[in-house]
């Protein structure tokens, strides 16, 4: 346990003091040390936030989670200023949420900020800094229960059975991306994180590193195997022409860009949307849409909910149960359109 007093003073080890810790793009400046970057004494909340983010990193929280919490808690500390923990109650937290609304943030963004504050206080309680969590007394903004619209099975088959459109820069790679996102139900971040050594052709399975660096094996079918066989020679030819070698530790990436580097999640999102629109799908399609389609279509075809949970890498079954809502909506539409007594 770290040496954190109730007044919020955080003692750092001398090594971190001298070099200044770096976490997710923010400089963690130890309490009581002046630097050329920080001329004012850092607040209690800022110091606690630094340790909390470091704790998340040690727990293998995703980079996206750490980045989101960092931004939200920076805003929280800026609003609260130099107040100590005893002067921050549920009224102050409500004032913080009102401040976010005044800045034009959506309910979703405000709810995320509240969740970040609750998580910070939960950790502070575990460390013995605070006794109560005032953020728990503040209601989460009511969010609209909007179910994602997913392409039908027929739309996905039409999308994947035909040729890649002319706008596809690398048809072999882009087809493989669609086959893996829809055929395996993986996340965008999981897709770009696949290395060559993660693929077992003999077992027709891929090692996937999910949230919190949790690993799972996901099977892939014949269509993905065919797309993989077409892509790998193209990839080898590209890297050979670029004289590209991977000198970093670990296995080289499966999906590469035109410069031979690892494909990014932003690039995947842009490619998926462009090709999907060219093939007649909604412009709202993005990589996670294909993941939703994977879960929804498997449920419609009779797959067990627990099996879908394992394949998707959901920690809680409640997350997977969202697909039952999508499936029920689909069944109601089928009933309304086909049953003679429904007309």
CA 290 to CA 269: how far, in whole Å?
Answer: 11
Residue 15 has pLDDT above 60, yes or no: no
Whether residue 329 sits in one domain with residue 297: yes
17: enclosing H helix or E strand: helix 14-19
CATH number for the domain that contains residue 262: 1.10.443.10
pLDDT in the model for residue 111: 93
Q: Confirm whether 1 is domain-assigned.
A: no
Whether residue 130 sits in one domain with residue 239: no
Whether residue 26 sits in one domain with residue 69: yes
CA 228 to CA 236: how far, in whole Å?
Answer: 12
pLDDT in the model for residue 40: 66
- Among 87, 64, 85, which Cα is nearest to 10's? 85
- Among 233, 270, 274, 238, which Cα is nearest to 257's? 238
Whether residue 257 sits in one domain with residue 108: no
Whether residue 294 sits in one domain with residue 208: yes
Least confident of 19-33, 145-159, 275-289: 19-33
Q: Confirm whether 200 is domain-assigned.
A: yes
The two three-digit tokens of residue 175, written as one number? 């087809």
Whether residue 267 sits in one domain with residue 180: yes
Report phi then psi at 207, rounded to 5: -80, 120
Range of the domain at 126: 14-137
Whether residue 180 sits in one domain with residue 270: yes
Q: Confirm whether 101 is domain-assigned.
A: yes
Cβ pair 275, 168 in contact under 8 A: yes
Per-residue HEC secondary structure of 86-131 comes to HHCCHHHHHHHHHHHHHCCCCHHHHHHHHHHHHHHHHHHHHCCCCC
The interaxial angle of helices 153-161 and 287-300, nearest 10 deg, is 120
Whether residue 103 sits in one domain with residue 59: yes
Whether residue 115 sits in one domain with residue 229: no
Condensed to tens digits (0 to 9), the pLDDT of residues 178-210 reads 999 999 999 999 999 999 999 999 889 999 998
Condensed to tens digits (0 to 9), the pLDDT of residues 73-129 reads 999 999 999 999 989 999 999 999 999 999 999 999 999 999 999 999 999 999 999
Q: Confirm whether 164 is domain-assigned.
A: yes
Q: Which residue has the higher pLDDT, 278 or 36?
A: 278
Whether residue 332 sits in one domain with residue 220: yes
Whether residue 100 sits in one domain with residue 160: no
CB-based burial, 206-229: b 16+ in 10 Å, e otherwise: bebbbbeeeebebebeebbeebbe
* Residues noted as catalytic: 187, 211, 288, 291, 314, 323
The two three-digit tokens of residue 179, written as one number? 């086959």
Per cent of the chain over pLDDT 70 is 79
Q: Which residue has the higher pLDDT, 75 or 328?
A: 75
**How many domains does the chain contain in total?**
2
Dihedral of CA atoms 124, 127, 128, 129 in degrees, nearest 10, equals -40
Name the most confidently modeled range: 210-214, 226-230, 302-306.
Answer: 226-230
Query: Other C-beta atoms within 10 Å of 287: how many?
Result: 24
Whether residue 170 sits in one domain with residue 277: yes
Report phi then psi at 33, rounded to 5: -115, 125
Q: Which pLDDT band, with edges at 50, 70 and 90, does 288 fall under?
A: very high
pLDDT in the model for residue 327: 62
| pTM of the entire predicted model | 0.62
CATH number for the domain that contains residue 60: 1.10.150.130
pLDDT in the model for residue 343: 56
Q: Which of 137, 166, 186 is at the close of a domain?
A: 137
Cβ pair 273, 283 in contact under 8 A: yes
CA 295 to CA 309: how far, in whole Å?
Answer: 9
Q: Which of 83, 112, 137 is at the close of a domain?
A: 137
């Amino acid at each position: 346990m770290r040496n954190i007093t109730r007044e919020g003073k955080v003692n750092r080890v001398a090594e971190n003091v001298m070099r200044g810790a770096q976490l997710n793009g923010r400089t963690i400046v130890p309490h009581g040390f002046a630097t050329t970057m920080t001329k004012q004494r850092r607040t209690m909340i800022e110091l606690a936030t630094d340790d909390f983010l470091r704790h998340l990193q040690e727990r293998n929280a995703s980079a996206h989670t750490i980045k989101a919490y960092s931004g939200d808690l920076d805003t929280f500390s800026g609003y609260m200023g130099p107040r100590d923990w005893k002067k921050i109650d549920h009224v102050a937290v409500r004032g913080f949420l009102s401040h976010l609304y005044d800045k034009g943030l959506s309910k979703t963004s405000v709810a995320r900020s509240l969740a970040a504050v609750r998580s910070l206080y939960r950790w502070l309680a575990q460390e013995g800094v605070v006794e109560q969590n005032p953020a728990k007394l503040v209601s989460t903004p009511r969010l609209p229960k909007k179910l994602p619209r997913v392409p039908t099975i027929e739309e996905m088959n039409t999308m994947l059975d035909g040729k890649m459109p002319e706008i596809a820069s690398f048809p072999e790679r882009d087809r493989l991306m669609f086959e893996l996102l829809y055929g395996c139900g993986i996340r965008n971040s999981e897709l770009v994180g696949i290395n060559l050594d993660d693929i077992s052709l003999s077992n027709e399975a891929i090692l996937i590193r999910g949230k919190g660096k949790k690993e799972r094996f996901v099977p892939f079918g014949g269509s993905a195997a065919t797309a993989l066989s077409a892509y790998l020679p193209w990839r080898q030819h590209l890297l050979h022409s670029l004289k590209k070698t991977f000198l970093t530790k670990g296995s080289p990436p499966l999906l590469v860009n035109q410069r031979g580097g690892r494909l990014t999640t932003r690039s995947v999102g842009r490619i998926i949307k462009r090709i999907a629109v060219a093939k007649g799908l909604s412009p709202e399609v993005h990589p996670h849409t294909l993941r939703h389609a994977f879960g929804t279509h498997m449920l419609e075809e009779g797959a067990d909910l627990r099996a879908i949970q394992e394949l998707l890498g959901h920690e809680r079954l409640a997350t997977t149960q969202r697909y039952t809502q999508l499936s029920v909506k689909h069944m109601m539409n089928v009933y309304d359109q086909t049953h003679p007594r429904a007309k």
